[in-house]
Amino acid sequence: MNAQNVVGQSNCEDSLYVPEVALDRKPHKRQEFDTLDDAYEFYNKYAKEGGFSIRINSSTICKESNDIIRKEYVCFKEGQARQCQVVNRKRRCGIIRGGCSAKLVVVKSEFGKYMVCIFVEEHNHALSSPQRC
């Protein structure tokens, strides 16, 4: 299976790439997971099959119970490199961050499960073949 589907092609920089993954292995809004580990594992498998890597971007902790009530997983290329790092540092490899907005956000429901509330599948960069992730 091809690792990507180009959504827009008016300009290479404006192109959006969507991983080609079977529907049963693709996250969707209101999908539930028993634990945060289950959510991470599911999204990580989707990412590997789709040709990209993920990382944890942020978490929100409830002050009363000390439980994690929100977790955001993002494409590894999310965000921008800090300017001081770009200018002052020589790197062996290129800068990884590229402003990608692909992400999965889960929140803890009143029933104790974690539910997908945001899923953005479009990437602003070409995707790798699944074997490279």
The predicted-structure confidence for 51-75, as pLDDT tens digits, reads as follows 999 999 999 999 999 999 999 999 9
Structural domain including 52 reads 5-132
Share of the chain above pLDDT 70, in %: 72
Q: Where residue 2 falls among pLDDT bands split at 50, 70, 90?
A: very low
Number of domains composing the chain: 1
Which is more confident, 12 or 71?
71
Q: What is the pTM (predicted TM-score) of this model?
A: 0.77
Q: Which residues make Cβ contacts (< 8 Å) with residue 18, sequence separation at least 6?
A: 4, 5, 7, 121, 122, 123
- Structure confidence at residue 9 (pLDDT): 41
- Structure confidence at residue 99 (pLDDT): 84
Torsion of CA 64, 74, 121, 3, to 10 degrees: -140
**Using CA of residue 60, residue 69, residue 56, residue 118, what is the dihedral sign?**
negative
DSSP string computed for 56-111: EEEEEE-TTT--EEEEEEEETT-S---HHHHHH---SS---------EEEEEE-TT
Which is more confident, 54 or 10?
54
Share of the chain above pLDDT 90, in %: 65
Given its phi and psi angles, is residue 30 left (phi above 0), alpha (psi -120 to 50 degrees) or beta? left
